[in-house]
Chains A and B, each alone.
Chain A
Amino acid sequence: MNGEDGRATNGAGAAAVLAAGIGSFVLGVLDVAADKSRALKTFLSFYRPTGPLSGITTVAVVVWLAAWGLLAWRWRGKDVPMTRTNGIAYVLLGLALLLTFPLFADLF
């Protein structure tokens, strides 16, 4: 969490926040996409008894962790504009909530 001068920086925290927004957003996008595409729904059925839920959530978790790792590596020991990062993360999280709502997803 510390920069090269030993001072605490917000980079690692910002990476965690933005990655959580990205992971949630990917979950929502895949939910809608699998609902619209039979081929994608079949592809994402990693575990047949659970159906596409297994693939959608697995891919979302993998993307979330990959984004977290990548951002943490990029922003380690740095200070990033936290207000802007939070704003992007909140928008992604809000979109995720909307996209997982079936009636909203039906608009596409």
Chain B
Amino acid sequence: MEFTTRGLWTMLHGMGFGGLYLLAFTGALVELYRTRLGDSLQADSDNSEFLRKYLAGMAVLAWLAVLSGAYIVYPWYRAAAPAGTANLAAFPQALLQSSPSTAQWHLLGMEWKEYVAWIAPISCTMAAAVASGYGESLRSFPPLRAAVRNFVVISFFAAALAGLTGAMLNKHAPVEGGRTVQVLRGSTQ
């Protein structure tokens, strides 16, 4: 069982940072909803402290996902194939664009994903900053709390869209190459 370094970075970007961000979303939504019920549930400072740290963690994950995607994985994806290259496996964008049946994955999928994904860290950083700055008093500002919740929801959809298209792109033209890392070695049957 082996991985290439490019494959490992792609997994870390998508399934690591991006996947964890998407998994964390429901937790954030529940915590934001609890701030709405704060008065009746006697929410204490521990709750707002948890929300502050939770959103800050999500923002870090979102930034790691877009930065690793843009500056580590994407250059491998868009690398230009030398003229006359017959095997385009190491050049995912060129591989997708070489066939009419896969070209739209790049034109629609990647061209949307590469930009819409950045809405997630911007929105989540805002949510984390507001939660951090206001703490328990956020529940005293219902429209502000609603904005934080709605931006977190939009950031989830932006990240989910990027994650879904990223997974489909990697299925049709995986980013692979570089040094091979062998994890397990078995015997052939």
Nearest chain A CB to B79 CB, angstrom units: 8
Q: Which of A14, A47, A51, A93 has the most CB atoms of chain B within a 10 A radius of its CB?
A: A93
Is B118 positioned at the interface, with any CB of A under 8 Å from its CB?
Answer: yes
Cα–Cα distance between A10 and B111 once the two chains are bound (Å): 37
Residues of B within 8 A of A100 (CB): 112, 115-116, 119
B residues contacting the other copy or chain, number (CB 8 A):
37
What is the interface of chain A mostly: helix, strand, loop, or mixed?
Answer: helix
Task: Return chain B residues, CB-CB under 8 Å to A96.
Answer: 119
Query: Once the chains bind, are A102 and B112 in contact (CB under 8 Å)?
Result: yes
Least CB distance, A85 to chain B, in whole angstroms: 8
**Given the complex, which residues of B lie within 8 Å of A66, measured CB to CB?**
none
Q: Which single member of B74, B108, B134, B154 contacts A103 (CB below 8 Å)? A: B108
Q: Which size bracket describes the interface of A in this complex?
A: 35 or more
Say yes or no: B119 contacts A8, CB within 8 Å. Answer: no
**A20 CB-CB contact with B under 8 Å:** yes
CB proximity to A under 8 Å, residues B66-108: 66, 70-71, 74-75, 78-79, 107-108
Q: Indicate which residue in B75, B114, B123, B141 contacts A49 across the interface (CB closer than 8 Å).
A: B75
CB distance from A32 to the nearest CB of B (A): 10
Q: Which residue of B lies closest to A58 (CB)?
A: B70
A86 within 8 Å of B (CB atoms): yes
A89 in contact with B116 (CB, 8 Å): no
* B116 pairs with A20, CB closer than 8 A: no
Contact (Cβ within 8 A) A102 B130 = no
Q: Are B133 and A53 in contact (CB under 8 A)?
A: no
In the complex, chain B residues whose CB is within 8 Å of the CB of A101: 112, 116
Q: Are B129 and A16 in contact (CB under 8 A)?
A: yes
Residues 21-76 of A at the B interface (beta carbon under 8 Å) = 23-24, 27-28, 31, 47, 49-51, 53-54, 56-57, 60-61, 64
